[in-house]
Each structure stands twice: as structure tokens, then as C-alpha cells.
Chain A
Amino acid sequence: MERAESFELDRGVHLTAIRTERFKTGCVSLGLLVPLTRRTVSLNATLPYVLRRGTARLPDMESIAAELDGLYGARIEPTLRKKGEIQIIGFYADFPDEAFLPERPDILGRVTSLMGEMLLSPATRGGRLRADFVATERQNLLDDINAEINDKRGYAEKRVRELMFRGESYGLSKLGTSASAEKVSQITLTRHYREVISTAPVEIFYCGPEDPGRVERLMREALAGLPRAGEIVYPATHVSFERRSGAPRRVTERMDVTQGRLIVGYRLGEIMREPNYARFLVFNALFGDSATSKLYLSLRERLSLCYYVGSWIDRHKGAMFVSCGIDFDKAGEAEAEISAGLQAIARGEIEDWELEGARREVIGALYSAADEVAGLEGQSLESAILGLGVGPEELAALASEVTAEELRDMAAGLRPDFVYFLTGEGNNEA
């Protein structure tokens, strides 16, 4: 596997570059790391979409599209991600490797330059971001927020985060709410834009056949206008080691659905004092995220309660969730089975084949992600935010050493914190 090279381009501006000729495309991503707060969440969610609408040189979507068509369908897409209580906003570009094209238009040079223009020289009117761009993108954001209801599983998963983490910024969706989106205006967004580009740390990633030294030069040129004189604000996720005592909180909501969606949320609590990410990955594979997991084998294969059941751990916040789609009258049975699976691990009921399967599943997934451009980009960003300092190879090696006792102890430290059920209208069986 290729080694990643690391560069500090400026204060708080970091580049990770991987030189490889394995792929047919190159990739450059740029992310500004900003805190997830109620006041700024929707401003952040709108910003990259407005910046992508036009630059001083290419003032509208059509002229940008023409430029990218000339680069054989190079793409520069706005990105909006949430990791713990951090939002990452920016752009993701990918473009064909010139080795496979009939000409060499210097795609990398032109893409980095255009990305820099989008970030630092957006189309403006009277020194402000264009009002018409802001208005359509605010409306698009409102549409996206309203459309969260369309995907019932995703909606239920969003609701449990909102309800379980009420009062914490983690409970916010990466889009914000209709109320916060309504407040996005030409003035508020322009002010926010200026603040963000001068204070936010910037994570840049490159993967492709070019010399990392050239990528560094190109990115320095592209970001020459980035204001870095003031204080750089490093956002962080608040992790609570406390756990509520007593029975889990419960909320049932009704909607016109044909399938019920059950989600159980857990807090990792004390486990987060010394988070061991390799252990989290193996635990999750063993409990609910593989075809040999406790939950898959019981809820789906033994009891036929569901088509999908899965667990995931948010290692930034220290929370775990289990989600499944079931008949309306099966919520109690499904919840009992989820609980039984966790208790079995806490009692140390872990067969050798289960442990080995979980370890190998994790290692396979890490290797597989490292064999894809987007996977490498995701691993790099995750690693930068968590301050991991280890790559997929090292994480895989650590995963292979996770023991049954460690998983047992982890299960013993987990309690259900919240049970959410989305059920049909006029149904009383929940």
C-alpha cells in the first residue's frame, strides 16, 4: 500500500497526498472544519453550494460546466459532512487520469485552480455573495430538510439523534432545521463566509499519479489568498462520560408507513475515556454489522423479524445505535432480542468463529476501503479529525489483536439510553 505524505501549507492548512497509479482517476478534496452549532449549522450547509454556483472568472453554472466538460468530465462537487460535533464543508473533485485521454490539458492544475477560485473568489455583487444564489440555495436547503421524511429509515435515525441528544449540538442534523435555514441571508452568509475562511482549519487530500510536491505547489498557489492571520479555531466534539441511570427513555411517533422502524441508542460513557477504535470496529462487527453478527443471525435469520438490521458506533461522540425495519406489532420482541444479543456478549458468550469472523470482517473492510479513491479520502479525513496517527494497515493489525474479554467488558459498559419507534398511523400495538 502507498504511503501518505503530509504537508503543512500554511497555519491550519494541511495536505495529505498519496501518489498512486492504481486508479483511473485522480482526486482532490478540500474540507473546512467548523463547529456544529445551532446558530451556524445551516449557514455552513448552504455555503459550499453557493460558492460552487459561480466565481469571479466563471460567473455561472453554465460557464463552470463548460470548463469541466473541457476537462473530460472532471467534477467539483460541494461537500457537507458531519463527524461528531464537527461539520466539514468544502469540495470534492475527481477527474480522469490523463494517461487515458487523447490530450493532456493539465487537468490537475486547472481543477485545483478552479477549486481555489470557488473558495476564495466567488461571484459577488457589491462585495457580497450574490443574493440570487443565496436565495435558491436556501430554498434547496429547506427542500432537503423537508425531504428528510422521504427516507423513513434515515428519518428515524435522524429523529433518535435529535431526541437522545436534545440540548447537545450532536443532536443537530448536518442540514440544520427549517428555522435555522430560514435565517440564511445574503448578509448573514457573507459575514459567515469571511469568518470561516479565516478561522477554520483546512484539510486537503490528494490521491493520484502526480508527484505530491507538485500537488503541494498547486495547492499553495490555489490558496494564496486564504486569510490566515488571525486565530485558527479547532472544533472538537464534547464527549460525556456520564450515563443516565434507570430505564431508557422512549418515544413512539406515527406516520403513514407500512413498515415500523425501531432504533435503540446507547451511550459509550466511561468507555470513551480511553477510546480504542480497533475494538469499536470489532465489537460492532460482532454485535450487529456483519452476516455473522449476533443481531443478523437472531433477528433476521432465526426469527425472520426483519429484512435489515444493523448497528454502528459513532466514535467521535461515543454512541452506538441499532436500527431495524419490522412489523408494527414486533417492536417488543425485536427490542428484547437486541438486548439479549448485547447481554450475551457481556456474559462472554463469544464463540471463536464469531470473534475471528468479526476481526476478519473489519480487516477486510479496511483493506477494501483503501482500494478505492473515495475510501482513501474518507479514511484520511477521519484519521485527521480523530488524531488517529495510524493508517488502515495499523488499524487492521490492531483489530486482529482484539480479544473476547475486551469485547465482553465493552458490552458490560453499554446500557440502552433511548428507544425510538416509528409506527403506522392509528396503530396502538407499539
Chain B
Amino acid sequence: MRLKEYPRVGEQVYTDELPNGLRIAVVPKRGFRKKLLFLAVNYGGADRCFRLGIDWLDTPAGTAHFLEHRMFEQPEGDAMTVFSQRGAMANAFTSPDMTAYYVECSEDLEENLKLLLKFVSEPYFTLEQVERERRIIAQEIRMMEDDPEDLLYYTLFRSLYARSPLREPVAGNRESIELVTPELLYDCHRAFYTPSNMCLVAVGDIDQNKVRDIAESTLPGVNAPAVERRKPASESPLPENVRQELTLDVGAPMFLAGAKTRPGLAGRESVKFELTASLALSMVMGAASPLYCSLYSQGLINETFGYDFENTAGFSTLTFGGETKDPGLVALRVMEEAERLSSGDMDPRFFARRKKTAYGGAIRALNSFDNICYNISAACFSGYDYFETADVIDSVTPEDVRAFIAQYLQPERTAIAVIRNKT
């Protein structure tokens, strides 16, 4: 395996690619008992339409997530139970552009790795089990329907996007999951769960060669070409709906506002864009910004106020929100502050300060095994080097940040979703 060292952030990584196309990364962490094994598939909730043979297959919302739920089942029983019996904690998640299975353990590394590779590569779906899982997922969907933050999020994304699959929850909805069958799950598994469409990351006090050898001897499959996915339809830079209001049993009114930013980002460019976006948003409205301190002191926002930037499945979006008695006023003040900063009134010392914090944040993120695994996998699918994040921060200029604010934090680009109390 190839070793690459990153002395600046105190990390090193061994990488390799097997003949069947599986990419492997091992990040040694000496002195830790905990080990994390993470197998990511480049397939998520937004990959709804793809070519299988000569036909295009259009799958219901929630299929990738349903598949993730059912993968643990093996003819001899539930792999989750076997992990648990060994004291290992196994779990999985599906995002719009990734499905990942992971095992955290302190012992039995080899056995756990073999089982992880085996259950993810050997589908076993029966009608009875699929019916059973449908009821469990229906409860998961109901749980999310009761969550005001989830509701706000999807209401906003439906307002922003006209056609993107990001409009639907990754878990699907009560109607769409009714359409999932064992045959459909087999089709999706065949299309996407190929070694060349996956990435294995291991973090901990681990022998990298052992990981490679086990992966090579356990994971079957030939190096198949990538499945053809339908490209997402282009979206207008403006929102579909400017404002949506809902009522629910909540303690205080809450809102989420957002805007579409640059689509189709990939590779190192996407990292720089994300870091630029985060710096820009932190300067406009982060907890250290003049606007935040002013709104907080006036009681217009509380600690729930925050911002986010996500780049997923070919779309990038900025969001901000929280609890407030006056969502419209808070959104307006954000736009005014964006206008002030982008029209030239940006203190270079403030930029330098925030950059130091961004750098510290990139260092802090390396404490988390989960975070390392997720980001190495995302970087592997997108084509950049996660451990170079700190170097990319150096390259962000005040002009980059000003240009981001000027282009994307604009009233006409922004949509807002509000939840008010019923009573």
C-alpha cells in the first residue's frame, strides 16, 4: 500500500486500489483501542434514475435507504446481531449521494471486516422480510414527520428546487416505500454495489496490509464500468417558491431560509468552494459575527440560530435559520449584513481571525474517526484529498468570500420556510 504523510496535521494514510476496483484507505491511529471500519457505496437517495442493461430504471423515493435497511439480512441471520454478539457496534446510513455501512470494534478486527465485506456484497431479500422492513421504515418516516426541523428542511428544499431529487427525503415517503419490491432491491444492488463503486476506510491501530489482504480475499467481483446515472435536470438560480408557512405543535416560531449556490461542483474545487462558503456564512452570521451578537443581544435569535452549507448529489445549497419571534426580520437583517460586507466594508482583520478558527476547526475534525471515514469516502468519490483541507483554507482570499456573499446571499435568490405554533 502507498503511504502518504501529512506532517502539518499529524496524519498519514495508506491507500491502494484492488484489481476489482475497490479503493482502500487505512489511517493509522496509534494508542487507540477503538477501530472503525467503514464501507461506502457511491449510491444515495438522489440516485433515483439509472441505466440497467439497455433500460432506464426510475426508482421510487427511498429505495437506496430501503436497500441499506435490508442489507444486514443474511440467509443465516442478521449480521447486525452477529456484530453485536462480538461487542462490535454496526450501523449504516444513507445520504443523498452515499450509502455507508460501518462497524466500530475494539477486538476481532479480522472477523468483523470479513463480515462487513460479506454482508454488503451478498444480497438476500425475501418478500416477507421486505414487508416487515416496510413497517419499520414507515415508523421511521412517521418519526421524521413529527420533527419540525425535518419538516422545515424539506419544505425549504421543495421551495428552492423544481426537479432535484433533494426535494424528497432520503427515506422516501409513506406512498413511495409501498412500491419497493425484492426484485427492485436486487436490481439496485447489482447496479451500484460493485467494488469499483465502493470505498473501504479503516481508522485505528490497524495493520494496513491485513486490511488489504482481507478485502482482496473476501470481496468478490470484477472491475465493472460505472453505472450510467441520469444527470440532474438543470435548475434556475431563483427559488420556485419564495415563502412557505406551516403550523405545528412547536414551542416557538422557527424558520429555515436558503439559496441555491453553484451546481456540479467536484474535486478540489468543491473543497475550496465549501470552505469559502463556510467562511462567508460565518462572517455574515456566525456566532462570532457582529450581526449574530447584535440579534442575540436584542433577543431576536437564540442559540438555535445557525447556518449550513451542503454540496450533495450535484447541487450546493446554503441555509440558515432557527427559532425567532420574527423570521422575516431576521432574514432581512442577514441580507442587509451581506450587502454591507459585499459592498466593500469587510475588515481584513476579521477575515484573518475567522480563517484561524476555520483552520482550528479542520484540526479538531480529525479527532473523529467517523468524520475521517466519511470525508475520505466522499473525497474518494469526488476526487480530492481530504487531509489537504487545511492547505486549501490557506488559499481562500477575502475576495473569494466577498464574491460568494455578493453572488449568493441575495434577496431574490432566497426562499424561506416558517413553522408557527398552532395556537
Q: Would B84 and A140 count as touching, CB distance under 8 A?
A: no
B359 within 8 A of A: yes
1/0 contact string of B277-319 vs chain A (CB within 8 Å): 0000000000110101100111100111000000000000000
Provided the pairs A72-B357, A259-B146, A364-B106 are in contact, do residues A147 and B251 lie with their beta carbons within 8 angstroms? yes
Q: Would A255 and B81 count as touching, CB distance under 8 A?
A: no
Q: Would A147 and B142 count as touching, CB distance under 8 A?
A: no
B354 within 8 A of A: yes
Q: Would B354 and A363 count as touching, CB distance under 8 A?
A: no
Q: Would B252 and A143 count as touching, CB distance under 8 A?
A: yes
Task: Report chain A residues within 8 Å CB of B139.
Answer: 259, 305-308, 325-327
Provided the pairs A325-B142, A367-B106 are in contact, do residues A256 and B364 lie with their beta carbons within 8 angstroms? no
Q: Would A147 and B290 count as touching, CB distance under 8 A?
A: no
Partner of A73, one of B149, B250, B302, B357: B357
Partner of B297, one of A132, A256, A292: A132
A356 to B10, CA, bound (A): 38
Output the nearest chain A residue to B72 by Cβ-Cβ distance. Answer: A291
Output the nearest chain B residue to A372 by Cβ-Cβ distance. Answer: B367
- Interface segment among B26-34, B117-125, B336-344, B403-411: the answer is B26-34
- Interface segment among B130-138, B162-170, B190-198: the answer is B130-138
Provided the pairs A61-B296, A145-B251, A307-B136 are in contact, do residues A360 and B87 lie with their beta carbons within 8 angstroms? yes
What is the number of residues of chain A that contact chain B, defined by CB distance less than 8 Å? Answer: 76
Q: How far is the CB of B42 from chain A (nearest CB, A)?
A: 26
Provided the pairs A255-B249, A259-B143, A364-B89 are in contact, do residues A65 and B10 lie with their beta carbons within 8 angstroms? no
1/0 contact string of A43-71 vs chain B (CB within 8 Å): 00000000000000000111001101111
Q: Would A301 and B78 count as touching, CB distance under 8 A?
A: yes
Partner of B367, one of A25, A66, A357: A25
Task: Report chain A residues within 8 Å CB of B135.
Answer: 304-305
Q: Would A96 and B364 count as touching, CB distance under 8 A?
A: yes
B207 within 8 A of A: no
1/0 contact string of B329-364 vs chain A (CB within 8 Å): 000000000000000000000000110111111011
Q: Would B106 and A368 count as touching, CB distance under 8 A?
A: yes
A177 within 8 A of B: no
Q: How far is the CB of B423 from chain A (nearest CB, A)?
A: 10
Provided the pairs A24-B367, A25-B364, A132-B297 are in contact, do residues A256 and B87 lie with their beta carbons within 8 angstroms? no
Partner of B81, one of A94, A291, A327, A362: A291
Provided the pairs A256-B249, A258-B145 are in contact, do residues A61 and B360 lie with their beta carbons within 8 angstroms? no
Q: Which residues of A contact B (CB under 8 A)?
A: 1, 20, 22-25, 60-62, 65-66, 68-74, 94-97, 99-101, 132, 135-136, 139-140, 143-153, 255-259, 290-292, 297, 300-301, 304-308, 325-327, 353, 356-357, 359-365, 367-368, 370-373
A-B contact pairs, 5 of them (CB 8 A): A73-B357, A100-B363, A258-B145, A259-B139, A291-B80
- Assuming A69-B357, A360-B85, A362-B87, what are 9 further A-B pairs, CB within 8 angstroms? A70-B353, A73-B359, A95-B360, A145-B251, A150-B251, A151-B147, A291-B84, A327-B139, A364-B89
